[in-house]
A and B are shown apart, each in its own frame.
Chain A
């Protein structure tokens, strides 16, 4: 009797494990377009702050971080950059790059997305408002393309990974029963 119970528990654990893996993979595809949209929104706010409100960068970064939930990568990126700018007096470019590295664990962006943002970080605070605005426009256009690509990828792979996880779980349980 105990053996049968143990068998069921093992089968359940195996199934939940593989299904969890599948859902986790699917989550990355689901989250990427959302996160790209979030970053685009944040960059639009930054553009407005630079071009119209003429806010100092730390203040602007701190304000923008408040619009996003604490667990989001965008919040982490902007909050960390604001923190580095105010406390350690780091250059805006370096602060953004460092924050980009640290926010990595909070989001599902691809390495190419991050490297595009890193490329963009070189222009923050280094040029005048007009040039910064045009560089933000350029990164926004690039992120919009990436967002479209991310949506296509999500439509193609999200369901596949989810179902694969569940089916592999079922298969393993059936094979080992």
Chain B
């Protein structure tokens, strides 16, 4: 079982980049675009997390049902 550190880094980078971008956009008065960016980042992270959870469930299923 490999500890997939890159996924954690990926999510962290998305989080940091979004935080910086959203605060900059808010500063320049584009609040609606800042919200849009935040939501897009949320969807991106959700996609990454869902893919990994799917992977986890497939593994569990393989352990218990494919013997």
Contacts and interface: CB of A to CB of B under 8 A. Distances in A.
B56 interface: no
Interface string A38-81: 00000000000000000000000000000000000000000000
Contact of B21 (A156, A157, A163, A174): A163
B61 interface: no
Q: Say what secondary structure dominates the interface of chain B.
A: helix
Contacts of B44: 171, 175
Contacts of B42: none
Interface in B26-59: 27-30, 44
**For B10, B20, B28, B30, which residue has the most chain A Cβ atoms within 10 angstroms?**
B28
Contacts of B29: 156
Q: Say what secondary structure dominates the interface of chain A.
A: helix
A160 B10 contact: no
A14 interface: no
A140 to B, nearest CB: 29
Contacts of B17: 167, 170-171
Interface in B1-15: 6, 9-10, 13-14
Contact of A177 (B10, B25, B30): B10
What are the nearest 6 A-B pairs in CB distance?
A167-B17, A156-B28, A174-B13, A160-B28, A160-B24, A171-B17
